[in-house]
Structures are given as C-alpha cells and as structure tokens.
Amino acid sequence: MPATILDGNKIAAAIRAEVAADVKTMSAADARPGLAVILVGNDPASEIYVRGKVKSSEEVGIYSEKHTPPASVTTEELLNLVADLNRRDEIDGILVQLPLPAQVDSKKVLLAVDPAKDVDGFHPTNVGFLSTQRPGLVPCTPAGVMEMLGRSGIKIAGQDAVIIGRSDIVGKPMAMLLLNANATVTVCHSKTRDLAEVCRRADVLVAAIGRSGMVTRDFVKPGATVIDVGMNRVTDPAEFARLFAGNTRREENFRAKGSTLVGDVHPEVAEVAGAITPVPGGVGPLTIAMLMANTVKAAKMRRGSKVPELSRV
C-alpha cells in the first residue's frame, strides 16, 4: 500500500487561518503584530524568499516592512539598523535574510537581534530556552514539522526518531523538539557509521542533509513516517534518471524546464513508508506559516496582558 501523503499546503493553510484570526483579535485590541525583514543586496533566491514572507504577512494581517541595504553595507551599518528595529515597539519580529555579503560578520548581526524579536529562533538565548523547555521562539522549519506530525495524528512519545543532519537551523532544534515530545532521538551526520542501518530503526525519520534522493528504500523501516526537509534542484539528466526513471509526467516537465525539484528522499521510499512528505508541497509551506505564527507569538510574549488569549500555534 502506498504511503499516506502529508499535505504541507493544507496544514500550512490551517495554521495561517488561525494566525489571521489571532491577528484580527490583536489588531482590534490595538496590538497588531509587526515584522521587519532585512534583505541585503540583490541575491535572486533571497529576493524570492523575502517576497513570499512579506506577501504571507500581508495575507494574515501582520504589519510588515522590508529594509534593503546595498550589497556594500558594513557590519556596523547593519548593527545600527538592527538596534533601531530592536527599539521600535511596533516591531515584534526581526528577520535577517541569509546569506549576508562576505564583508559582513553574520554571527555578530544575528546575535544583535533582540531574542524577544528573534522570529527565526536562531539566537543562543532562544536555543537555550528550547533546550531547557522554557517558552521561547523556535526555528520555523522544525516547528512546522512538529505541527505536521501533531495535526496528522502521528505518535511521537515513545517512538524512535532519527534525524539525518545536524545543522543549527534544522537538525539540532528538530532533535530537541522531538526529545521534548518524549521520542528517543538519534542524530546522524557525515561521520555516522552504517547510516542506512541506523535509519532503519526509525519510526519517524527526518532527512535534512541537502543531498538529492540520498535516502533510499533500504534506509526506511516499512510503515515509518518520513519527513523530507530537503529542497534540491536537479539539472543533470543522469541524476534525474536515477530518481525519476519511468515517470512520464516528470520526464516531460524536466525536458521542458531543464530542471526539477527533489528532496533528500528518493521517490521510491513512498512504496515502503507509512506516511511521507512530498517535495514540493511538504515541509516548505510550513516554514513560512510558522514564521507568521512566531511573529504572533513574539507579539504576545512581548506585550503580555495587552494581547487577548490566542490559539495554540
């Protein structure tokens, strides 16, 4: 029996609807959440990401503004901008779009963001709050994965969870969230021995390694839930054939566009998994939905009693 497809678009739409309802309530109480996005230079991929974030903010009613310093910006100039946004009470969330230009000290800039406004959840203070199970802002992608698991009725407590990838943005916070939800967690990486064998123990397998179709059927226990965080663009015909041979619709699309998107999980895994996220349309939409939810959460935590009781997101 083929795997159940976990529809990220559907779950993200539900989260956005809840956020929009919260924003409406908050705006009526004169506490409309505000998000500031800093986009340096003209990186095309970053511009697309930021456009999506600003558009989503507008759709749910969050006040948003975009700051676009030139690619020649200095660390000092960016620190001054962040300091100004930290001071402004109507701004609840500050997002610094990465990557920053080479001359900028990215770590210094990210560290300068007020932890109470750190809607990406990257600040060491928020990492510490997550680690010690205190209220804080959690990185959007792993938070979205937890929403997907919870809303899809997938059991976590007592389950074996394996994560491939140990990044600060996905792998580590994902491990912490699953651990906090009472899973038994293993984190794998490039030095892990017998990777496929370790992954086969997983009831919940999260792939966040950044390598096209690396997770094949021999990595997956039959019936396991597989979460594919990867987003890789394939342009090589041989690589495409390895992943999608015999898929006529994909082949036509690939010939027309010269590329296709694929996750870290090989499409064949859908034949053995119990549930799986598609790429695109799986984890991706949840990342932006959780950014909206984090902005509302930041506003609520910062403003306290001025904000009415809101939904659970």
The secondary element (H helix, E strand) that includes residue 90 is none
Domain of 211, in residue numbers = 140-284
Looking at 1-5, 43-47, 162-166, 272-276, which range is the least confident one? Answer: 43-47
Residues 166 and 67 occupy one common structural domain: no
Name the 3-class secondary structure at 254.
Answer: helix
Containing 267, the helix (H) or strand (E) segment is none
Question: Residues 269-286: what's their mean pLDDT?
Answer: 96
Which two structure tokens, joined as six digits, stand for 257?
């566009």
Q: Average pLDDT, stretch 162-178?
A: 97
pLDDT tops 70 at residue 256: yes
> pLDDT confidence of 46, banded at 50, 70, 90?
confident
Quickly tell me which residue has 């009781």 as its tokens: 309
Is 176 found in the same domain as 245? yes
**What does the pLDDT read at residue 238?**
93
Contact 11, 147 (CB under 8 A): yes
Task: Identify whether 94 is part of a domain.
Answer: yes
Which of 79, 114, 149 is the last residue before a domain boundary?
A: 114
> 280 and 147 in one domain?
yes
CA-to-CA dists, residue 160 to 10, 144, 152, 175, 218, angstroms: 26, 19, 18, 11, 17
**307, pLDDT greater than 70:** no
Element (DSSP H or E) covering residue 5:
strand 4-5
Residue 120 to residues 55, 86, 165, 168, 171, Cα–Cα distance (Å)? 17, 15, 19, 11, 14
What is the per-residue pLDDT across 15-38, written as a single tens digit (0 to 9) for each?
999 999 999 999 998 999 999 999
d(CA 63, CA 61): 6
The last residue of one of the domains, among 74, 99, 114, is 114
* Mean residue pLDDT across the chain: 94
Residue 82 in contact with residue 96, Cβ under 8 Å?
yes
With cut-offs at 50, 70 and 90, classify the pLDDT of residue 308: low
Residue 215: beta bridge partners? 265
Catalytic positions, please? 53, 97, 120
- Looking at the structure, tell me whether residues 99 and 61 fall in a common domain: yes
Per-residue pLDDT at 306: 59
What's the domain count of the chain?
2
- Neighbour order of strands in the sheet with 160-164: 4-5, 275-276, 225-228, 204-207, 160-164, 184-188
Segment 126-147 mean pLDDT: 96
Read off the DSSP letter of residue 308.
P
Cis peptide leading into residue 280 (ω within 30°): yes
- What pLDDT, on a 0 to 100 scale, did the predictor assign at position 244? 93
| CA distances from residue 161 to 182, 218, 225, 262 in whole angstroms, order as listed | 10, 16, 9, 23
Q: Is residue 18 part of a domain?
A: no
Residue 310 has pLDDT above 60, yes or no: no
Inside any domain, residue 289? no
Residue 85 and residue 36 in contact, taking contact as beta carbons nearer than 8 Å: yes
Closest CA to 85 of 47, 35, 160, 19: 35
Residues 6+ apart with CB under 8 A from 106: 98, 99, 100
Q: Looking at residue 217, which CATH number applies to its domain?
A: 3.40.50.720
What is the tens place of the pLDDT at every residue in 187-225?
A: 999 999 999 999 999 999 999 999 999 999 999 999 999
pLDDT tens track for 60-119: 999 999 999 999 999 999 999 999 999 999 999 999 999 999 999 999 999 999 999 999
Residue 48: the pLDDT is 87
- The whole-model pTM stands at 0.93
